[in-house]
Amino acid sequence: MKRKTFIRNSAIMASMLPLLNALEACHVRPKGSSKKVFILIQLIGGNDGLHTLIPLDNYRKITEARPNIFIPEKKILGLRGTSETGLHPALGGIKDMFDNGLAGFVQGVGYEHPNFSHFRSSDIWNTGSEASSVLYTGWMARYLETKYRNYPDGYPSQLQPDPPAIKIGDTGTFAFQGKAMDMSIVINPNIPFGKSNAGEDGGESTSFGAEEVKSIREILLQTDRYAGVVKKALNAPFASSKLYPKAGENPLADQLKVVSKLINGGLQTSVYVVDMKGFDTHVDQVSASDTTQGVHARLLGKISQAITCFWDDVVHMGREGDVAGMTFSEFGRRIVSTSGLGTDHGSSQPILYFGANIDKQLIGKNPVIPDKITVEDNLPLQHDFKSVYSSVLRQWFKAPEDVIKQVLPGKYEDIAIFNI
Amino acid sequence: MAVISSYSLRPYKGELKDAELLHLLRRSLFGVGHKELTHYRGKSLDQCLNTLLKASPTPPPVREELSDGKDTNPEVKVGGTWVHELYENEDVNYRRKLMFRMWWTGLILNRDFSITEKMTLFWHNHFVTETDVVKDSRYSYFYVAMLREHALGNYKKLVREGTTCPAMLVYLGGNTNFKSAPNENYGRELMELFTLGKGYGVQYTEDDVKAAARVLTGWRDDKVKSVGIFDPAQHETADKHFSPFFGNTVIKGRSGADGALEADELMDMIFSKREAARYVCRNLYRWFVYAHVDEKIEHEIIQPLADIYFQSNFEIVPVLRTLLGSEHFFDPVFRGCIVKSPVDFLLGSTLEVGVTVFLPPTKTYSSLAECHEPWLQYHLNCEDLTQRIGDPPSVAGWPAYYQAPKYHQWWVNSASLSMRKKLTDGLSTHDGLIFNGGMISFDFLNFAKQFRNKADLDTFVQEVTEMMFAVPLAKETVAQLKGSLVSGMETGYYWKKAWDKLEQHPDDVETKEVLDARLRMFFAKVFSMPEYHMM
């Protein structure tokens, strides 16, 4: 794939997004120069990479290692420019983006001495540490700390009026945990921003405590330094893509919808984390009667739909040049399947990235499945995840080398993901 | 609308479950941790009250504490006490004041199971001096030692002693109260703020204030011995006449050394008024139960309590025992109804959860019991949160305890709440905050370990939230908090596995951090909830 330049072609847009013309044009140009925005999508539980980005040249070995769950070859989606690698059938939207030069994959991403514990491995990814060392801050927080010195003192400021980072969901992420505090604002898409939880305000208070606490809640809501700018951005007029499903049907789409609104509303926040649960598919990863269906298929389908909708918004805003993102998970899954129609924890995985400034689209080789496969085998490591991170910092965030080294001590190869 | 069910001071005879214990101990101690719950669980209410109301032993006086090597007083060796030694210059006195504040804060941080520290702070807020106004650090030390001595004792004695203690003589100008020109400052505050109050039928007159001032002429502070001394030459020897409110009492004027005894008679006169008992009991109620005293509370609770106080001749223990052991006190309507003062919030959370002290120079771990310098930072942080221990904003004490209609809501505004969050956020990181010589961070792992059912996620969250929140959280909020512990995994299985692994490898850094990382996120959220500011 040689798509280096961004394609802004009405024919492409028409084929990708038939309803685009039906959308009302309500552009809101962000204030000042367009700021770059990066979205990290965490897939929680360990995504089965082998069924996400499928090495067709290893197809026979996949059927031998996974006799009960492999995807029928003819259902695998082809990718433009290669016959050796395909996509899970549920990833139609991602295939379209790939074929249009808007998505790519890094193969075999992980780290030496893989850890198979959800918590520990997730922490390794979020702190950007080696398997054997323990770090106490998030990798992205370490980067943000160089851009927001002495945070939170002095912020919001004239030059930096918006939150350094935003996490969509109901809890924070380790990735944004700085030395002094969480550097993000957490926005729960299910609760109107600025409102507290159901049950906190509603109904009669039966104790003086419940009455008194209301005043404190009020002050806290008003005190949130970023409440104003976030609310303003959320409420800026914007017609979300008509492609989005109903609220609640696709939690990732719900989260990305909020991200769109915030970007459209002009927030200068440069990084968002969204996430999706449910990837820990030890059993019932596929449906017994049709392996193209089942839990994993539904999850991938939601990723595909969510990113497609989100990108539709980005295009509608005219911010294609400014927005990109990637997925990651605490690990991939085992090559050999379980008897319960699933897979156990694995190690390396493909990372999906998307955006309009992609350099290479398939980075790394197809993983080679060993001939004499055992249940202990895992996909080989090709790229340390920290080289993906450092490449993103270098290429997307334009971070200088000394900053990159501070954030991720160590030497990591530069992977040609983005070209800006 | 919340409604009080019981207006009775009859002894509470209901169950003393954790909820009741937590309510009692939150109000009487600073922070309730596992240690306290373990100590008090299983006791009857009477036994609990006995433990609470047992006075703590007298602590040793403040010692040289600052570790910068400079002796503040050449005669006093490092580790000795300066409370009896003159200071050679203001720099020395300034440093001693810091050490005094450090010492007092340290007493709270190392409190035992008694209500003594809380009562000491109560009396300080009620019978106020301000350290910076008093100036002489020795005087302030003796003032607090006096408060602590009488904390669970006799208020009449406290006021008598306090009236002529050097700190108070300086603070309210008693040391410039001469027969030629009496200074009414103390006489006024003695009645208005320290003993009788205003309203509620209290009707002392301006002349009463003047007369009281004349009774107290001739006292001054002795800078060598740090005591109050009486100078007959400066004492007004005429009779002092008081108003009908005081039964037209006449305190006979005395000359010579006997003039000092007039102060005793003044106390007898003031404390013969039931209003004095009611005033203190009202303040005690606001401190321990709830800010709002309406007519019914005044009639059903304050007055009967005051009768007990009056009949005991102003011994506080019977009052505390009655109030804290009453049906009224245990009425569920009062759970979590008081906003935590800065000391309750910051020192309380430290005592509730526990902290580690990391010493960067030696890279060793210590504790707040061993490492004293961080105590001063706690004091400074409370000052930033608007409660400067030893220096209330005025002789009336902290507004939270008297300023209607807000009362305790005075502690919380956008600035103070932001600061509270900043502190707990910082203390909830792995490195913690620099507190004057040590890095302080909450020791969540050790705190969490002590919950018997910690490995069961739902039970753990339930037990923690029940222990730490006096106002229950909404179900949705608890669910969100739980999310911090499982990083999006949809079962508690991995949480349990993490604890099992810790049991196998209790010292493994990685294993500890897997749990600690989640606990830090969880507890940072806990401390920032509005409900956490209530006790």
Per-residue model confidence as pLDDT tens digits over B440-482: 999 999 999 999 999 999 999 999 999 999 999 999 899 989 9
Higher-confidence residue: B501 or B373? Answer: B501
Q: Judge if the upstream peptide bond of residue A156 is cis by omega within 30 degrees of 0.
A: yes
> What distance separates the 2 farthest-apart alpha carbons in chain B?
84
On the CB side of A194, how many CA atoms lie within 13 Å of its CA?
Answer: 13
> Do the bridges between strand A323-329 and strand A77-79 make them parallel or antiparallel, or are there none, so unpaired?
unpaired
Q: Are residues B235 and B318 in the same domain?
A: no
Query: Could you tell me the two tokens for B292?
Result: 């709002």
Residue A1 has pLDDT above 50, yes or no: no
Residue B66 has pLDDT above 60, yes or no: no
- The model's confidence at residue B81, banded by pLDDT at 50, 70 and 90, is confident
Q: Are residues B190 and B250 in the same domain?
A: yes
CB contact under 8 A, B2 and A182: no
Q: Are residues B292 and B308 in the same domain?
A: yes
User: Minimal CA–CA distance to B408: which of B296, B295, B290, B323?
Assistant: B290
Rounded Cα distance between B105 and B372, Å, is 10
Task: Quote ipTM for the complex.
Answer: 0.90
Contact status, residue A364 vs residue A94, Cβ threshold 8 Å? no
Query: Could you tell me the two tokens for A397?
Result: 């965030």
Q: Are residues B162 and B247 in the same domain?
A: yes
Q: What confidence tens digit (pLDDT) does each residue in B14-53 have?
A: 999 999 999 999 999 999 999 999 999 999 999 999 999 9
Q: Where are the alpha helices (DSSP H) in B393-474?
A: 414-427, 444-449, 457-468
User: Minimal CA–CA distance to A407: which of A175, A181, A172?
Assistant: A175
Residues 10-49 on A with a CB inside 8 Å of B are 42, 44-45
CA distance A379 to chain B (A): 23
Q: What angle do CA B160, B161, B167 make, to 5 degrees?
A: 120
Q: Are residues B236 and B323 in the same domain?
A: no
Tell me what the pLDDT averaged over chain B comes to. Answer: 95
User: Minimal CA–CA distance to A76: which of A68, A84, A86?
Assistant: A86
Contact status, residue A135 vs residue A400, Cβ threshold 8 Å? no
Q: What confidence tens digit (pLDDT) does each residue in B220-264 have?
A: 999 999 999 999 999 999 999 999 999 999 999 999 999 999 999
Per-residue pLDDT at A3: 36
**Between A and B, how many CB-CB pairs are < 8 A?**
154
Strand order in the sheet with A77-79: A53-55, A82-87, A77-79
For the CA atoms of A209, A211, A213, A215, the dihedral, rounded to the nearest 10 degrees, stands at: -150
**Residue that finishes a domain, picked among B293, B318, B334:** B334
Instruction: Tell whether B345 is covered by a domain.
Output: no
Q: Are residues B455 and B530 in the same domain?
A: yes
Rounded Cα distance between A163 and A186, Å, is 10
Which chain B residue is nearest to residue A223, measuring alpha carbons?
B414
Q: Are residues B202 and B295 in the same domain?
A: no
- The model's confidence at residue A32, banded by pLDDT at 50, 70 and 90, is very low
CB contact under 8 A, A209 and B337: yes
Residues 6+ apart with CB under 8 A from B203: B243, B245
Q: Which residues of A touch B413 (CB under 8 A)?
A: 219
Quick check: B417 contacting A, CB < 8 Å?
yes
Q: Which residues on adjacent β-strands are paired with residue A110?
A: A384
Q: What confidence tens digit (pLDDT) does each residue in A211-224 have?
A: 999 999 989 888 78
How many domains does one find in chain B? 3
Rounded Cα distance between B287 and B323, Å, is 12
Quick check: A277 contacting B, CB < 8 Å?
yes
Q: Are residues B201 and B310 in the same domain?
A: no
Residue A19 has pLDDT above 50, yes or no: no
> Do the bridges between strand A165-168 and strand A271-276 make them parallel or antiparallel, or are there none, so unpaired?
parallel
CB contact under 8 A, A223 and B534: no
Per-residue pLDDT at B78: 64
Q: What confidence tens digit (pLDDT) does each residue in B387-408 have?
A: 999 999 999 999 999 999 999 9
Instruction: Tell whether B45 is covered by a domain.
Output: yes
CA distance A212 to chain B (A): 6
Nearest to A200 among B2, B332, B477 (CB): B477
Nearest to A216 among B412, B476, B514 (CB): B412
Q: Which residues of A touch B414 (CB under 8 A)?
A: 219, 222-223
**Residue that finishes a domain, picked among B272, B296, B314:** B272
Instruction: Tell whether B497 is covered by a domain.
Output: yes
Quick check: B5 contacting A, CB < 8 Å?
no
- Using the structure block, give the residue that is written with the tokens 């040689």: A2
Nearest to B426 among A120, A180, A198 (CB): A180
- Using the structure block, give the residue that is written with the tokens 């049991």: B503
CB contact under 8 A, A223 and B530: no
Which chain B residue is nearest to residue A135, measuring alpha carbons?
B513
Instruction: Tell whether B316 is covered by a domain.
Output: yes
Neighbours of A222 (CB within 10 A): 12
Q: Are residues B284 and B307 in the same domain?
A: yes
Q: What confidence tens digit (pLDDT) does each residue in A265-286 have?
A: 999 999 999 999 999 999 999 9
Q: Which domains does chain A have, with CATH numbers?
A: 26-193+226-407 (3.40.720.10)
Q: Which residues of A touch B533 (CB under 8 A)?
A: 213, 216
Q: Which residues of A touch B409 (CB under 8 A)?
A: 212, 215
Lowest mean pLDDT among A2-16, A304-318, B201-215, B500-514: A2-16
Per-residue pLDDT at A201: 62
Element (H, E) at B303: helix B303-311
Per-residue pLDDT at A4: 36
CA distance A83 to chain B (A): 36
Q: Are residues B268 and B159 in the same domain?
A: yes
Q: What confidence tens digit (pLDDT) does each residue in A71-119 have?
A: 999 999 999 999 999 999 999 999 999 999 999 999 999 999 999 999 9
Cα–Cα distances (Å) from B131 to A418, B92, B121, B385, B389, in that order, read 64, 15, 14, 18, 9
Q: Which residues of A touch B524 (CB under 8 A)?
A: 181-182
Rounded Cα distance between B316 and B288, Å, is 13
Per-residue pLDDT at A6: 37
Per-residue pLDDT at A297: 98
Per-residue pLDDT at A33: 52
CA distance A155 to chain B (A): 13
Quick check: B523 contacting A, CB < 8 Å?
no
**Residue that finishes a domain, picked among B272, B301, B321:** B272
Residue A234 has pLDDT above 90, yes or no: yes
Q: Are residues B183 and B249 in the same domain?
A: yes
Select from B356, B419, B487 the residue whose CB has the most chain A CBs within 10 Å, as the one to mutate to test that interface.
Answer: B487
Quick check: B2 contacting A, CB < 8 Å?
yes
Q: Are residues B253 and B286 in the same domain?
A: no
Quick check: A227 contacting B, CB < 8 Å?
no
CA distance A223 to chain B (A): 5
Which chain A residue is nearest to residue B510, measuring alpha carbons?
A134
CB contact under 8 A, A197 and B476: yes
Q: What confidence tens digit (pLDDT) does each residue in B103-126 have?
A: 999 999 999 999 999 999 999 999
CB contact under 8 A, A181 and B339: no
> What pTM did the predictor assign?
0.90
- Using the structure block, give the residue that is written with the tokens 């965030």: A397
Instruction: Tell whether B484 is covered by a domain.
Output: yes
Rounded Cα distance between A263 and A39, Å, is 11
Instruction: Tell whether B195 is covered by a domain.
Output: yes
Which chain B residue is nearest to residue A124, measuring alpha carbons?
B514
Residue A244 has pLDDT above 70, yes or no: yes
Q: What are the strands, taking DSSP E only, across A16-88?
A: 37-43, 53-55, 77-79, 82-87
Give burial (CB, 10 Å; 0-12/13-18/19+) of A166.
buried
Residues 286-305 on B with a CB inside 8 Å of A are 290
Instruction: Tell whether B113 is covered by a domain.
Output: no
Give burial (CB, 10 Å; 0-12/13-18/19+) of B30.
buried
Lowest mean pLDDT among A24-28, B215-219, B341-345: A24-28
Quick check: B367 contacting A, CB < 8 Å?
no
Percentage of chain B beyond pLDDT 90 is: 90
Q: B235: domain range?
A: 154-272
Nearest to A170 among B470, B483, B521 (CB): B483
On the CB side of B384, how many CA atoms lie within 13 Å of its CA?
Answer: 15
CA distance A243 to chain B (A): 26
Q: What confidence tens digit (pLDDT) does each residue in B328-378 have?
A: 999 999 999 999 999 999 999 999 999 999 999 999 999 999 988 899 999
Residue B493 has pLDDT above 60, yes or no: yes
Per-residue pLDDT at A29: 38
Quick check: A203 contacting B, CB < 8 Å?
no
Q: For chain A, first and last CA: distance in Å?
A: 17
Percentage of chain B beyond pLDDT 70 is: 97
Amino acid at B134: V
Per-residue pLDDT at B80: 74
Per-residue pLDDT at B423: 97
Instruction: Tell whether B129 is covered by a domain.
Output: no
DSSP state of A36: P
CA distance A43 to chain B (A): 9
Quick check: B100 contacting A, CB < 8 Å?
no
CA distance B72 to chain A (A): 35
Per-residue pLDDT at B434: 93
DSSP character string of A354-411: EESSBS-SEESPPPPPPSS--TT--PPP-EEHHHHHHHHHHHTS---HHHHHHHS-S-
Residue B365, SS3?
Answer: strand
Contact status, residue A265 vs residue A232, Cβ threshold 8 Å? yes
Contact status, residue B108 vs residue B379, Cβ threshold 8 Å? no
CB contact under 8 A, A207 and B335: yes
